[in-house]
Amino acid sequence: MEFLSDIASLINSTLRISTPLVFAAMAGIFAERSGVIDFSLEGKMLMAAFVAAVGSYFLGNPWLGLLLAIIACVSLSMLHGFASVTYKGDQVVSCVAINILIIGLTTALAAAWFGQAGLTPTLSEDQRFLEVNLPFAETLRDVPIIGTIYSDILSGHYIFVYLAYLSVPLVFWVVFKTSFGLRLRAVGENPSAVDTAGINVFAMRYKALAINGVLIAFAGAHLSTAVNANFFREMSAGRGYLALAAMIFGKWHPKTALVACLLFGFTDALQIRLQGVDLPVIGEIPVQLIQAIPYVLTVVLLAGFVGKAIAPNAIGQPYIKER
């Protein structure tokens, strides 16, 4: 029985840990499918975490914090679009600039407003999101198997966890079953074809970036107003990059990107679980080695373990109509 509950708690943490990755990967799919590289997922996630925590602290409502985070991230996406779509700047440079800007800005603002470098005050219970217990979770807990799955794995997560997994089929539907999705995919493959079909290439890319901003805001808010009760310095901790890797590993496709995110989440959950555990024969594994697992996995996977990832054809290229 202990083994079973171990597994259940491992899956439970996998779902939780993967959540910001899933949001970020879905956000990345929108930007990159439209032909705009988004390295700035990391910076935007950090910005969202900061704005959500601060907004919620001052306004007393986590939903308002989330709303402000969305506004902040959409603005950053627009900034990225302004530099790289309208003014045709280098997309990677624009992203790196945003990432560096946000690291400095969040630290400095936290110091100015709260007197602590890179730290916001702890949020009270009504200033943050709480775990959601699904109906009948308590009643069903003792039913074998179903009880474990329903009560121990599915129930008791933050709202963002549910939203993240619901976003995947939604993104799939939008990208592959709607005319907006057709135009989105086309604009990332051959913008000239879109232009000659009478569609505004720039408007399409801005729309995609706006959706990207909304999705990434959820990832940040999850970090600072749900799993944690405050913002701390560089709390996104590379998740934006990891999500980008998952998206590439998932070939810019929501379903496979989800699988990749879960895989990364699982290795992370596993490494937390393995810390301080005495394994037979080997003994205790040094914690640094275990913590490296997700990153080693990323490198191995991206080094061609899963075959060639074919990026959207026009990715990274600003659209220039006149010669």
Residues at the contact surface with other proteins, assessed by CB under 8 A: 177-180, 182-183, 185-186, 189-190, 192-200, 313, 321-323
Q: Beta strand 283-284 with 278-279: parallel, antiparallel or unpaired?
A: antiparallel
Least distance in angstroms from the C-beta of 303 to other proteins: 24
- Give buried/exposed letters for 300-315 (b at 16+ CB in 10 A, else e): ebeeeeeeeeebbebb
Q: Of the two residues 81 and 191, which places its CB atom closer to other proteins in the complex? A: 191
Least distance in angstroms from the C-beta of 211 to other proteins: 15
Q: Of the two residues 139 and 192, which places its CB atom closer to other proteins in the complex? A: 192
Least distance in angstroms from the C-beta of 162 to other proteins: 24
Least distance in angstroms from the C-beta of 173 to other proteins: 8
Q: Of the two residues 150 and 202, which places its CB atom closer to other proteins in the complex? A: 202
Q: Of the two residues 197 and 303, which places its CB atom closer to other proteins in the complex? A: 197
The tokens for 309 are: 């990832």
Least distance in angstroms from the C-beta of 147 to other proteins: 39
Q: Of the two residues 195 and 234, which places its CB atom closer to other proteins in the complex? A: 195
Q: Of the two residues 197 and 277, which places its CB atom closer to other proteins in the complex? A: 197
10: CB partners within 8 A, 6+ apart: 266, 269, 270, 273
Helix crossing, 179-189 with 201-222: angle to 10°?
100
Cβ-contact 31, 212 below 8 angstroms: yes
Q: Of the two residues 21 and 315, which places its CB atom closer to other proteins in the complex? A: 315
Least distance in angstroms from the C-beta of 131 to other proteins: 35
Long-range contacts, 292-297 (Cβ 8 Å, 24+): 293/267, 293/268, 294/242, 294/264, 294/267, 294/268, 297/263, 297/264, 297/267
Task: For residue 214, give the nearest of 87, 84, 31, 37 by alpha carbon.
Answer: 31
Least distance in angstroms from the C-beta of 189 to other proteins: 5
- The one-character DSSP state at 133 is P
Q: Alpha-carbon distance 96 to 113, whole Å?
A: 26
For residue 304, which amino acid is it? G
Least distance in angstroms from the C-beta of 186 to other proteins: 5
Q: Alpha-carbon distance 143 to 181, whole Å?
A: 43
Q: Of the two residues 141 and 251, which places its CB atom closer to other proteins in the complex? A: 251
Cβ-contact 23, 215 below 8 angstroms: yes
